[in-house]
A and B are shown apart, each in its own frame.
Chain A
Amino acid sequence: MTGEVWVVGETDRGSLAESTPGVATLGSAVAGQAGLIPVGILVGDGIAEAEALAAYVPHVLKVGLPPHGDWVDPADAAAAIAHLARQRGPAYLLVPGTPWGRSVAGSLAARLGWGVISNAQRITWDDGPVIETIVFRSETRVQSRFAAEHGIVTVQPNVTPPVKLGGPGAFEQVEIRLVHEERSQVRRVERSTVATQPLAAVRPALEGSRVVVAGGAGVGSADAWRVVEQLADALGGAVGASRPPVDLGWAPPSCQVGQSGKTIRPDLYVALGISGEILHRMGMRAARTVVAVSLDPDAPFRAHADLFVVADLHELVPALLAEIDARHHARTGHAMPGNQTSACAANEDAPWTHRPDPAAT
């Protein structure tokens, strides 16, 4: 079999989106197994984004469209990619399973008349791609195949750790002309940037953090979200979230852990008010130690945590903070500074775990 496996890159405000490198690595691996050629596709004006994609997939086609600034409408991306696909005849298209990628993939399926399989966890090759997904609370692993020798796959972000290729990336510029009727009528009318909160700057980033404290629907409100941040600060960890707090605006999308968010591998994962459905656990099941606090004694985390606490998190977390504070005080003779004020405290109130240990000096 000859042909190409395409990896569609997503851009995010002038950079390659963090969902893309892992998909590119998976695409290169599948192409390698299949004897196909991996090709990255980057729609948009950005040269830096195309070069960034080329660090993960050896051949990148940068598809120029009339300028949109740093925003590419998914329907325009799909129209351009469909044109290019008709010219070059790729076999399979891999797309990040993000909101943007899903929109592109759905539109591409309609334009090309190809099958589409969503939320791939794993792709292997057996005379064609075998796509593994996980469904239902029973976590049934489902393997699917395409009926034809082509298809579109959305890939769960962050399931494949990205691996950079040896050399610097290079790309080839391709011009696609969309006629007026093909252009999307969707336009961006406002781009709003919210100033980053001071304390977020001193908290570790979610990826790579040794400790993560995450909140879910059980936290209850944007105001109550502070308890998640307080415990994260007391443990020197990053803040994470399941999907409901992100959808409801309590936490930014960058905090989201799970199928449509990030995949992380911390030493300690503390879940507050998260039931532990598979879609969430897909993002954290590599955590070494999992502590879950839930009001529901039968929440899925009961079977997927190391310690499962049946309690109201709004009572438990303050008690736990006091307990941690007392233990710290007993050891050092100092109270825990991070616990003195709200999580929105000024910069100098960095969590105690970030400070030099007074007992050691």
Chain B
Amino acid sequence: MHVVILVKAVPNNAETARLTPDLRIDRSAADPILNPNDEHAVEVALRLADADPSVQTTMLTMGPPEAWGGLSKAVAAGVGRSVLVSDARLEDSCILSTARVLAAALARQPFDLVLGGQDTSDGGGGMVVAAVATLLGQPFLANASEVLVTGGEVHVRQERDDGFDRIAAPLPALVTVTRAVGAFRYPSLRSIMATRSRRPEILALDDLGIGPDTVGRAAATTRVVKATIPEPAQEARVVTGDVPAAARAVADFLAERGFVP
């Protein structure tokens, strides 16, 4: 079975993440890391490979060459193969362009199950995998809190207000997961050292047979026209120190405002 994980490198620290003067994500402001929600998708793939050594895992991403710096920890944790679609003409790709590129990259390799995180910490749209599934004409199962592969099908649990649903589809299928599937196994220093010379296969637009006029800035369906950073807010009254005194201070505060006697 071939499992492909769709991942994204995102700016490390949301604190310093910002836009450039021309309104693009300033990738120089923060180191790239593996999108935190994608870590869980990697973990699901690694567990499938733990359970069945014939499972082959491939990580697929699109981004600038620097993106690799954030993704190598997934390789250290055990992901088999990595593919980075990188091409200067992909800059400023919108959600639709991104989905087209990932779908084209998936179409040129075998896959039974494609896994992704439920959304990213920078864009946050949570729509790319759904769009990729539609472009490939394959089933899509979103926000899985459990993933089970059995009898040529994938079964997924989705949490609901009053319980849960289980939905299923034949493979090949695309699935996004929530953090409930389990925490990412952070690689040991030894495996980080052992894999640090590994590099992804790099694909350019020409390798995918995609014309440059259908993706990137040339084909962007959306554009940012303005960005405003708000003034910092005023700091709260801060309570620190020993717990009984802090609890009294909180109770006093609540009493002042009439929430407790």
A-B contact pairs, 6 of them (CB 8 A): A75-B140, A115-B220, A116-B221, A135-B17, A138-B230, A316-B243
Residue of A nearest to B118 (CB): A99
| Contact indicator B238/A191 (Cβ below 8 Å) | no
* B61 interface residue per 8 A CB criterion: no
How far, in Å, is A307 (CB) from chain B's closest CB?
5
How far, in Å, is B171 (CB) from chain A's closest CB?
10
Select B224's contact among A100, A107, A142, A248, beta carbons within 8 Å.
A142
Q: Mark B133-176, 1 if CB is under 8 A from A, else 0.
A: 11101011111010000000001001111111111111001000
* A137 interface residue per 8 A CB criterion: yes
Residue of B nearest to A319 (CB): B247
Which residues 290-320 of A sit at the B interface, judged by CB distance below 8 A? 290-293, 297, 301-312, 315-316, 319-320
* B190 interface residue per 8 A CB criterion: no
| Contact indicator A109/B127 (Cβ below 8 Å) | yes
* A286 interface residue per 8 A CB criterion: no
| Bound CA–CA A23/B140 (angstroms) | 25
* B99 interface residue per 8 A CB criterion: yes
Residue of B nearest to A293 (CB): B250
| Contact indicator A106/B129 (Cβ below 8 Å) | yes
Across the interface, which residues of B come within 8 angstroms of A71, CB to CB?
Answer: 165
A positions within 8 Å CB-CB of B: 12-13, 71, 73-75, 78, 99-100, 102-107, 109-111, 113-119, 130, 135-148, 151, 154, 181, 184-194, 196, 211, 235, 244, 246-249, 252-254, 259, 267-268, 277, 279, 289-293, 297, 301-312, 315-316, 319-320, 322-324, 327-328, 330-332
Q: A105-B127, A147-B220 are in contact. Are A235 and B260 (CB under 8 A)?
A: yes
| Contact indicator A323/B236 (Cβ below 8 Å) | no
Across the interface, which residues of B come within 8 angstroms of A267, CB to CB?
Answer: 259
Select B254's contact among A138, A277, A291, beta carbons within 8 Å.
A291
| Contact indicator A99/B260 (Cβ below 8 Å) | no
| Contact indicator A187/B130 (Cβ below 8 Å) | no
How far, in Å, is B96 (CB) from chain A's closest CB?
5
| Bound CA–CA A331/B261 (angstroms) | 7
| Contact indicator B179/A247 (Cβ below 8 Å) | yes
Residue of A nearest to B17 (CB): A136
Select B243's contact among A141, A142, A304, A311, beta carbons within 8 Å.
A311
Q: A102-B125, A235-B260 are in contact. Are A305 and B236 (CB under 8 A)?
A: yes
Residue of B nearest to A153 (CB): B222
| Contact indicator A146/B246 (Cβ below 8 Å) | no
Across the interface, which residues of A come within 8 angstroms of B225, CB to CB?
Answer: 130, 143-145
Select A253's contact among B135, B160, B229, B234, beta carbons within 8 Å.
B160
How far, in Å, is B128 (CB) from chain A's closest CB?
7
Across the interface, which residues of B come within 8 angstroms of A252, CB to CB?
Answer: 159, 161-162
| Contact indicator A154/B140 (Cβ below 8 Å) | no
Across the interface, which residues of B come within 8 angstroms of A104, CB to CB?
Answer: 130
| Contact indicator B165/A192 (Cβ below 8 Å) | yes
